[in-house]
Amino acid sequence: NAGVTQTPKFQVLKTGQSMTLQCAQDMNHNSMYWYRQDPGMGLRLIYYSASEGTTDKGEVPNGYNVSRLNKREFSLRLESAAPSQTSVYFCASTQGAQNIQYFGAGTRLSVL
């Protein structure tokens, strides 16, 4: 049982380049989330998708876009990467009424 799978694990971009971070879950969860984690800042919510076909902004959405491709997959896109987007990005999905979130292993992104 893979749980939440994120790709790639590492990425280095130049300022202005674009890329998409991929996330897939095999637990049949309805809700999915994208967070960024920075030293001293904790986990901050970028976007979330309460169910297939819906997406909503979180705390820090600027500079990002998301697509809920189907129930399993939720992607995060950086259209024009900036050094301030250097971070570790985590995808999570939620189980049932308790809304316990299960996290992927993360993508470490550096923007030069």
- To other proteins, the closest distance from the beta carbon of 14 in angstroms equals 24
Q: Name the residue among 8, 7, 1, 57 with its Cα closest to residue 29.
A: 1
- To other proteins, the closest distance from the beta carbon of 70 in angstroms equals 18
- To other proteins, the closest distance from the beta carbon of 80 in angstroms equals 27
Residue number with CB closer to other proteins (5 or 17): 5
Applying CB under 8 A, the residues found at the interface with other proteins are: 4, 31, 33, 40-43, 45, 48, 50, 58, 90, 92, 94, 97-106
Q: Quote the strand ranges of the chain, DSSP E.
A: 4-7, 10-13, 19-25, 31-38, 42-49, 56-57, 64-68, 74-78, 87-95, 100-103, 107-111
Residue number with CB closer to other proteins (62 or 97): 97
